[in-house]
């Protein structure tokens, strides 16, 4: 039998390289934990740890001492339980009908946000003769998930059959420090907690931890900031960069004034230009909208920012390298890195950094560094 082939060089496989700095991730958690002023610092690792890979990210956070994690779906919690056998794992999207045995089997903590969910969990606990843990989600203005004020009293009566381990709510716009909404929500949360049995509480997400009136309470649950996103838009990013993304040039060509590029001929060369085609498209999370905004996305190559020209297609993009240094087939260009942050790419794509991270394509070659 022939030996197994060595791992292919990404140049040979045509892959974009996504480099993930787990040391920076760990330091970001330590910075946030220190900022929490004695409150527990958990980690939100839903959506495959914001696109960076649940297993390596969770292991890196466990090594730092993180003991509580939040994911969105039951299936994510089941996967995380294999990686973190002793951690507390909260399921933000609540309790799907008839799922109580699955939660119990994997020792997952549902975040209950409605009377039907609370009643079903309480009934299951009575049947099992066990006070299993659950968190209580209080709606303070999002109108998405969570108990409204009118349901707090009946919910409180049902909680005697299980162990309420956390009361939580979610900020509407904590990143907007000029908005009065955060203060209003903090007040509403305090009023709601007074109607429920005593239990630890959590309100701060990444941006919430940087509010002037940040209510650290008993537990903070950052997500975006862990992965290098800026929790303080408009100010210097207090977090370390975690991700770098580099695409490869597949072809370089000269075009004349009047020539077009890409689908539907949306870009026309104003003069003789030098273009490079990259192995990156919207199937990889390089959003098609990025070439349609007034700012426009760009790459960084050979010392210059190189704008995307024409429409971004499924697997390919075209950049104008006329003002950059010499570039050729096989050279790599920065999409995310020292010169282009997640927040910068998001702004130029007409979206938010959360979407950029969570859409990072499965075709990338992920390289984890320390």
Annotated active-site positions, please?
46, 263
Q: Return the number of other C-beta atoms located less than 10 Å from residue 131's C-beta.
A: 15
CB-CB contact of 44 with 70 (8 Å) = yes
User: In DSSP terms, which residues pair with 274 in a beta bridge?
Assistant: 254
Give the contacts of 361 (CB within 8 A, at least 6 positions apart). 16, 283, 284, 285
Nearest of 129, 123, 87 to residue 108 by alpha carbon: 87
DSSP string, 169-213: ---S-TT-TT-SHHHHHHHHHHHHHTTS----EE---TGGGGSTT
Angstrom distance (rounded) from CA 220 to CA 224: 13
Q: Report CA 87 to chain centroid distance, whole Å.
A: 20
Which helix (H) or strand (E) segment is 127 a member of?
A: helix 115-128
Do 113 and 137 meet the contact criterion of CB atoms below 8 Å apart?
yes
Q: Kindly state the DSSP code that residue 290 receives in the 8-state scheme.
A: G
Tell me how far CA of residue 160 lies from CA of 94, 134, 155, in angstroms: 19, 12, 10
Residue in 233, 265, 271, 257 with CA at minimum distance from that of residue 353: 233
Which residue in the block uniquely carries the two structure tokens 């420090």? 177
How many residues does this entry show for the chain? 370
């Amino acid at each position: 039998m022939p030996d197994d082939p060595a791992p292919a060089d990404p140049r040979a496989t045509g892959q974009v390289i996504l480099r993930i700095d787990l040391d920076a991730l760990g330091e970001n958690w330590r910075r946030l934990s220190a900022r929490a002023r004695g409150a527990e610092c958990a980690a939100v690792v839903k959506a495959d740890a914001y696109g960076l890979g649940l297993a390596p990210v969770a292991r890196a956070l466990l090594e730092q001492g993180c003991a509580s994690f939040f994911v969105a779906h039951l299936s994510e919690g089941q996967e995380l339980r294999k990686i973190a056998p002793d951690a507390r794992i909260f399921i933000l999207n609540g309790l799907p009908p008839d799922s109580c045995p699955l939660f119990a089997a994997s020792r997952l903590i549902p975040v209950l946000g409605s009377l039907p969910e609370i009643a079903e969990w309480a009934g299951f606990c009575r049947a099992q003769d066990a006070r299993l843990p659950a968190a209580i989600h209080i709606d303070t203005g999002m109108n998405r998930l969570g108990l409204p004020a009118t349901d707090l009293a009946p919910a409180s009566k049902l909680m005697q059959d299980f162990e309420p381990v956390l009361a939580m709510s979610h900020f509407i716009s904590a990143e907007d420090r000029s908005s009065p909404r955060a203060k209003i929500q903090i007040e509403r949360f305090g009023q709601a907690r007074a109607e429920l049995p005593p239990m630890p509480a959590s309100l701060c997400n990444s941006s919430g931890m940087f509010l002037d009136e940040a209510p650290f309470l008993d537990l903070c649950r950052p997500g975006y900031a862990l992965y290098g996103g800026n929790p303080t838009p408009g100010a210097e990013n207090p977090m370390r960069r975690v991700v770098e993304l580099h695409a490869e040039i597949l072809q370089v060509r000269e075009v004349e004034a009047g020539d077009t590029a890409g689908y539907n001929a949306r870009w026309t060369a104003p003069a003789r230009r030098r273009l490079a085609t990259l192995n990156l498209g919207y199937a990889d999370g390089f959003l098609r909208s990025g070439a349609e905004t007034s700012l426009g996305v760009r790459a960084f190559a050979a010392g210059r920012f190189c704008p995307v020209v024409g429409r971004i297609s499924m697997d390919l993009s075209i950049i104008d390298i006329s003002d950059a240094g010499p570039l050729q087939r096989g050279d790599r260009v920065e999409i995310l890195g020292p010169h282009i942050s997640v927040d910068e790419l998001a702004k130029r794509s007409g979206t938010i950094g959360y979407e950029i991270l969570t859409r990072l394509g499965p075709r990338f070659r992920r390289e984890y560094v320390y």
